[in-house]
Structure 1
Amino acid sequence: MTPRRQSSRAPVTSPAVATVFTTVLTQGPVSRVDVARRTGLSSAAVTKAARPLIEAGYLIERDSEQSGIGRPVSPLEVRADREFFLGVKVTDRELIGVVTDLRARMLVTKFRPLPSRKPDAVVDGIAEMVTALLAESKAYKQRTHCLGVTVAGDVDRDTGHVRYSPFLHWRDVALGGLLAEKIDLEITVDNDVKAITVAERWFGDGVGANSFALVTLGTGIGCGLVVNGGVVAGSHGVAGEIGHIPVFGDGPVCHCGATGCVEAIASTDAIVAQARTATGEAGLTMAEIVTGARLGDTALRKVFARAGVAIGRGLASVANLVGPERIIVSGEGLDAYDLFADEIRETFATQAFGAAAQCELILRPLPFEEWARGAAAIAVQTLFLS
């Protein structure tokens, strides 16, 4: 994280304040009594923690309402437009940027082509994107202090250092520091899947779950983990790398150097490569491969079936090791889900041990702008990590 502009910060000065704020943010409107019940804090502690947030305009009290017998209650609610947040997702071809409110609701979305993957070009592109997003409203310029930027790969969030990004072909890029030289905002750089996991935990299908996993299928295969209510980063920042679990001993070599990884068999690029080999048609596109498989091409259907087995084994490994309440499966790879759905579910049911097989699988598309929303969600998170 690269600290920059610090004015007008949310007064999150203690763990109790952070707990009350996050509870109202993710579950509000909610009464003080319910906040106390859900968090284990005393009613007095909740009232004390809420007071500075109300005074600073981050929380508001709704009109009193009767709730059973007793005094009327005044539910607490987040004032969503108190502050705005920027999120930028870096892909190998384009930048996706959003402005969100405090609830990570997208207000503006922009797409910009990326002419070069070189770090300087990416930094310049992000700076231009930030300028364009802020120009959309005077309120955005006045009340935006935090920017989240995400990339695929191995990222040290604490320093903003990208250790390895396979799709950008980066190694050891100090992205956070380079951005801080051009952008006067508080900047957080993180792995894209972990950022999406933060968004799910606070604003999506992860709300209310003590533990869950988010698995993304597409150009890469990623996984974010939440255990005991917190996103797991791991000692070295690479926890949850389901894409690099070996699932086929005789599988192809992965870009990471290992053999038989889930990503080497079931990512979009891997499926395309295997389909071209299986058919002998070197120019096949993913769209053509999907169409051919749906029309019954046996060789292409075998490629998807093998991918489904690989994904199912990876999901079962997550269920066996972590025991999440649910696994959310998303990403652009779901566009072809009908071609490997049976293999995923059958393999998962076979490989998941005992009660782990009862883990709920939630399937949901992931529009590309949602990646940028995840970046904005980690910017929101900085309010609680000061």
Structure 2
Amino acid sequence: MSQATQHPPTEVRTGTAGQVFTSILTTGPVCRRDVANATGLSQASVTKLVKPMLSAGYIEEIAPITAGPGRPQIPLQVIPERQFSIGVKVMATEVIGVVIDLGGNQCAAVRQPVDGTDPDEVVGTVTALVAHLRERVPQARERTCGIGVGIGGHVDNATGVVRFSPSLRWPSVPLAGRLTAATGLPVTVENDVNSLALSEQWFGAGRGVDSFAVVTVGAGIGCGLVIDGDLWTGVSGAAGEFGHIRVAADGARCDCGRVGCVQAVANDEAIARAAEHAVGQPISSAAEAYRLATAGSEPLKEVFREAGRALGRGLAVLVNLMNPALVILSGEGVHSSPIWTDAVREQLTADAFSSIAMDCELLVRPLPDEAWAAGAAVGMLRRSVLGSLGRLGT
């Protein structure tokens, strides 16, 4: 099998049992008949696949309901306390950790400053944070499936290696292996926006949507892709580098070394730089530029609109390639979306092929910082649970 078509052995695909479980998780309580309709499986197949899930304690039956003629239906739902996961979001100045259960409920959250970005320092900080979280949620201690870590940059999920993180200046750090050695727990490492996409698929706006994208704006511009129910990461984990789509022939240089990238026009640093140029005075941040824009500065409103047009050009490329039902815009930068959303929509409609832009819902969805850590936890839950389901009945 060639490298282009090979899936790493550690990569988890949803599979038939996973489709059934995901349907129960995202729509439950739900009866077997409705799961069959949602997955395209026969009701007999669903019944067969559900039996080992019931025996293993992942799901449970609740009181029968009567809806129209025929036998009463017995709804199924996930048992949240069956499994727990720890999620960690690693940034240059701070580490955020959470514990979630199988229902996506957040049981605890901790924020811890990081003393530098040296890998040894980060591993030590994360190890201490994990120990603290396990003390905070003692009922999860024996049922914690592992640790999910989300980090910005190019992450090879199959090997747990951070190939390159611009914010941390890490080249080729085997983070999963080092954290497993330090904590004694299984560890999965994923690009932080990919993790957020998984969280939206199971517990957020992507529930029940087969194909969608999450695009985040702020200090960086990122993207996570869910295609036909699976996270699409590419052959080495670099899929979804939306911020490095070229949307201009010239302009400021991106941190990747090229010019014209979406990120070089629409991230926080680029907006602050363009704002200074527009008004001829120092602007400390995109947040300050937004405050002045909302106070009435037309030149600064145009800076945000131009950033929105750059996003719209990039989104047109994305939807032309993917034709998704939904694009979720999130990240700390969406606080300024009231100024630039119309520009995004107009440019997307102008550049997208045929009716693709109208076929795609564009949803602006602000999320707290802890949601990124929860997304990493979902990545670990997904790997553990779907892996276990694949072995049930074999």
Q: TM-score range by the shorter chain?
A: over 0.9
The residue aligned with 1:181 is: 181
Q: Does 1:98 align with 2:98?
A: yes
The residue aligned with 1:351 is: 351
The residue aligned with 1:270 is: 270
Shift of 1:16: 3.6
Q: What runs of 5+ residues in structure 2 fail to find an aligned partner?
A: 1-7, 389-394
Say whether the 8 Å CA contact 2:196–2:375 is kept in structure 1.
Answer: yes
Shift of 1:203: 1.5
User: Whole-Å Cα distance in 2 between the matches of residues 205 and 80 of structure 1?
Assistant: 19
Q: Does 1:334 align with 2:334?
A: yes
Q: Residues 28-107 of structure 1 correspond to what in structure 2 (within 5 A)?
A: 28-107=28-107
Say whether the 8 Å CA contact 1:16–1:46 is kept in structure 2.
Answer: no
Shift of 1:299: 3.6
> Percent sequence identity over matched residues?
44
Shift of 1:342: 2.5
Shift of 1:283: 5.7
Q: Residues 259-338 of structure 1 correspond to what in structure 2 (within 5 A)?
A: 259-282=259-282, 284-338=284-338
Q: Residues 1-40 of structure 1 correspond to what in structure 2 (within 5 A)?
A: 15-40=15-40
Letter in 2 for 1:377: V
SS at match of 1:36: helix
Shift of 1:91: 1.1
Say whether the 8 Å CA contact 2:272–2:289 is kept in structure 1.
Answer: yes
The residue aligned with 2:391 is: none
User: Whole-Å Cα distance in 2 between the matches of residues 385 and 57 of structure 1?
Assistant: 15
SS at match of 2:97: strand
User: Whole-Å Cα distance in 2 between the matches of residues 69 and 318 of structure 1?
Assistant: 46
Shift of 1:313: 0.7
Per-residue Cα deviation, 1:78-136 (whole angstroms, up to 9, x for no partner): 00111111100011111111111102221211111111111111111111111111101
SS at match of 2:136: coil
SS at match of 1:135: helix
User: Whole-Å Cα distance in 1 between the matches of residues 283 and 300 of structure 2?
Assistant: 14
- Pair 249,138 (structure 1): closer, same or farther in 2 beyond 3 Å: same
The residue aligned with 1:380 is: 381
Shift of 1:282: 4.1
User: Whole-Å Cα distance in 1 between the matches of residues 320 and 9 of structure 2?
Assistant: 36
Shift of 1:288: 2.1
Say whether the 8 Å CA contact 2:160–2:188 is kept in structure 1.
Answer: yes
User: Whole-Å Cα distance in 2 between the matches of residues 65 and 44 of structure 1?
Assistant: 19
Letter in 1 for 2:187: I
Letter in 2 for 1:135: E
Per-residue Cα deviation, 1:204-236 (whole angstroms, up to 9, x for no partner): 111122211111111111111122222211123
Letter in 1 for 2:235: S
Measured on the aligned residues, the alpha-carbon RMSD in Å equals 2.0
Per-residue Cα deviation, 1:179-218 (whole angstroms, up to 9, x for no partner): 1110121111000001111111122111122211111111
Taking structure 2 as the reference length, what is the TM-score of the superposition? 0.91
- Pair 342,67 (structure 1): closer, same or farther in 2 beyond 3 Å: closer
SS at match of 2:355: helix
Per-residue Cα deviation, 1:121-174 (whole angstroms, up to 9, x for no partner): 111111111111110132121211221001000000011000111111111111
The residue aligned with 2:122 is: 122
Shift of 1:296: 2.7
Taking structure 1 as the reference length, what is the TM-score of the superposition? 0.93
Q: Does 1:144 align with 2:139?
A: no
Per-residue Cα deviation, 1:291-311 (whole angstroms, up to 9, x for no partner): 112223344233222211111
User: Whole-Å Cα distance in 1 between the matches of residues 295 and 378 of structure 2?
Assistant: 41
Per-residue Cα deviation, 1:56-78 (whole angstroms, up to 9, x for no partner): 21111101121221211211110
The residue aligned with 1:241 is: 241
The residue aligned with 1:256 is: 256
Q: Does 1:228 align with 2:239?
A: no
Per-residue Cα deviation, 1:30-67 (whole angstroms, up to 9, x for no partner): 11122222223333322222122212211111011212
SS at match of 1:315: helix
User: Whole-Å Cα distance in 1 between the matches of residues 28 and 101 of structure 2?
Assistant: 15
Letter in 2 for 1:230: D
Q: Residues 143-222 of structure 1 correspond to what in structure 2 (within 5 A)?
A: 143-222=143-222
User: Whole-Å Cα distance in 2 between the matches of residues 43 and 304 of structure 1?
Assistant: 52
Shift of 1:15: 3.8
User: Whole-Å Cα distance in 1 between the matches of residues 343 and 283 of structure 2?
Assistant: 27
